[in-house]
Amino acid sequence: MMKIMIPTDFSNNAMNAITYALEFFKYQKVEFYFMHAYQAEVYNHEALLSRTDFNDILKRVKLQSEENLADLLRTVKEISPNPRFTYYTISAYNSLLDESDLIVDGKNIDLVVMGTKGKSNTRNITFGSNTLQVLKYVRCPILAIPEDYKYQQPKHALFPTNYLIPYKRRELKLICDLLSPFRTKIDMLYVSKNGKLSFRQEDNKAFIEETICKNNISYYTTDNKKIDSAINTYVSDNTIDFLIMVNTQHSYLENILFQSTIDKISLKLEVPLLVLQNLRREY
């Protein structure tokens, strides 16, 4: 049975991610954990003018969180009365990152699903601030769904890699588990002027090929100088409908996320992004 956590701020983007997940996993047995962490809402509450107001506002926000989760659960059951699904709700006075870590570790979560943006929904950025923090720091595979993206079966996935990372078998197996039911074609893209691989890269490539055994895999190299540009071009030119990347040291995604401010991330994301996480970072 797969265990999936979905953080929500009750926005349309969060609901869109939930709807996508319900459809994507409809033939699997899944435990869904819908989580709302409301610590920031308490501290940013417009009525919080003095310390004496704090407890009253905390109770109000907590009650509203629980009511919203109950409404969400009713909506989800109407959308997907699926006997394969089990639903849980978690309302927590905590930060999104800390609560995500607690649930991921405590429930042995296999995957986090969330929208690329939340309530702010700023048009000219790729990721909202909360999503970006989860992508960077939560140690769990994450499936990020772009705003307004409507579910379709993934038929052609792109997996950009420099083959420098010793991938974990569990995470590569997750790719197989997610995409093999759809017979998804996976393109491995190596961005380099020199197409020749080192022995280390060849070994990592062989491990990928062995582990993602149920999918049709093709290998490509491009000499584009900019990684994000190479990815954007490949996605648009090859009808890619699913993107896979890894967040760890010396990876392509690290270069994109950690070298950019939130408003300067140049990765254009119009398809679901599966981010594999294989290294815990210090905050």
DSSP, res 196: P
The whole-model pTM stands at 0.88
Query: What are the chain's domains?
Result: 2-145 (3.40.50.620), 156-271 (3.40.50)
The single-letter code of the amino acid at 247 is N
Least confident of 108-112, 136-140, 217-221, 264-268: 264-268
Q: Please say whether the beta carbons of 136 and 128 come within 8 A.
A: no
Q: Please say whether the beta carbons of 7 and 109 come within 8 A.
A: no
Q: Please say whether the beta carbons of 204 and 255 come within 8 A.
A: no
Q: What angle do CA 159, 215, 155 make, to 5 degrees?
A: 70
pLDDT in tens, 97-135: 999 999 999 999 999 999 987 665 555 555 777 888 888
Q: Mean per-residue pLDDT for 182-209?
A: 89
Residue 47 — pLDDT band, cuts 50, 70, 90?
Answer: low
Tell which residue, 85, 98, 82, 78, has the closest CA to residue 35. 98
